[in-house]
Structure 1
């Protein structure tokens, strides 16, 4: 049973997955985005350098946020998963390209992903004002 104020926004750009999860859930003005990784439109993993996977993951977040009525400027929290701790300095550098002060709250966990992924991110955002 779903709550009447809960929606599951998607559009043609929203990456899909064969796994049992919704890309986003919106409750009022809050938007919860499931972990986005370096995947193509059909959810197939696209292996790349850390930078390539980071950028593809963020672009997937952008697509999911757009479908839900938001964007990166309205992200209030991020949870980040970095496979190799050695990539953390590059991760911090790239992160600053996409998120600016005042930064969203952030958690970063390292040494946690399978060998097929270098990076994954999930976010909480608010809806863009009308």
Structure 2
């Protein structure tokens, strides 16, 4: 089955040897997004709330470029340098997702690229 590489200027450019997303048939695998502003490639200001919003906005931009939306998410992985922010992730996630919610994992990590406090990746199942 052929792979389609997804790329958009509305999300940060890859900062390593990976694609923003890869689409195979109706499944899209979104690479991890950290809270980089796509225009400046710098971490957003404004604390943890701003970082979480930026990550969801970046994921949404890649999902749109693949022909979908966050509503097509079937699996979301959340990586946090401080699991104390878990409740804030839930609160903000409710602004981007409606029931039925995707499957999800939340993982505490020691560090993330560029000093980010949050990173997320996702898998989408596009509707016909």
Q: Compared with structure 1, are the counterparts of its residues 112 and 103 closer, same or farther at alpha carbon in structure 2 (3 Å cutoff)?
A: farther
Partners of 1:36 and 1:62 in 2: how far apart? 10
Q: Compared with structure 1, are the counterparts of its residues 12 and 117 closer, same or farther at alpha carbon in structure 2 (3 Å cutoff)?
A: closer
Aligned residues: 126
CA-CA distance at 1:18 after TM superposition: 3.0
CA-CA distance at 1:128 after TM superposition: 4.0
Partners of 2:9 and 2:109 in 1: how far apart? 33
Aligned match of 2:123? 124
1:24 paired to 2:52: no
CA-CA distance at 1:119 after TM superposition: 0.8
Partner secondary structure for residue 38 of structure 1: coil
1:7 paired to 2:13: no
Alignment of 1:1-130 (within 5 A): 5-41=2-38, 43-114=41-112, 116-129=115-128
Partners of 1:30 and 1:102 in 2: how far apart? 18
Q: Compared with structure 1, are the counterparts of its residues 73 and 96 closer, same or farther at alpha carbon in structure 2 (3 Å cutoff)?
A: same
In structure 1, runs of 5+ residues without a counterpart are: none
User: Quick check: 1:25–1:31 contact (8 Å CA) kept in 2?
Assistant: yes
User: Quick check: 2:7–2:19 contact (8 Å CA) kept in 1?
Assistant: no
- TM-score, normalised to structure 1's length? 0.87
Partners of 1:113 and 1:47 in 2: how far apart? 18
Taking only aligned residues, the RMSD between alpha carbons, in angstroms, comes to 1.8
Partners of 1:86 and 1:51 in 2: how far apart? 13
Partners of 1:79 and 1:94 in 2: how far apart? 15
After TM superposition, the structure 1 stretch with the greater mean CA deviation from structure 2, 84-93 or 7-16, is 7-16
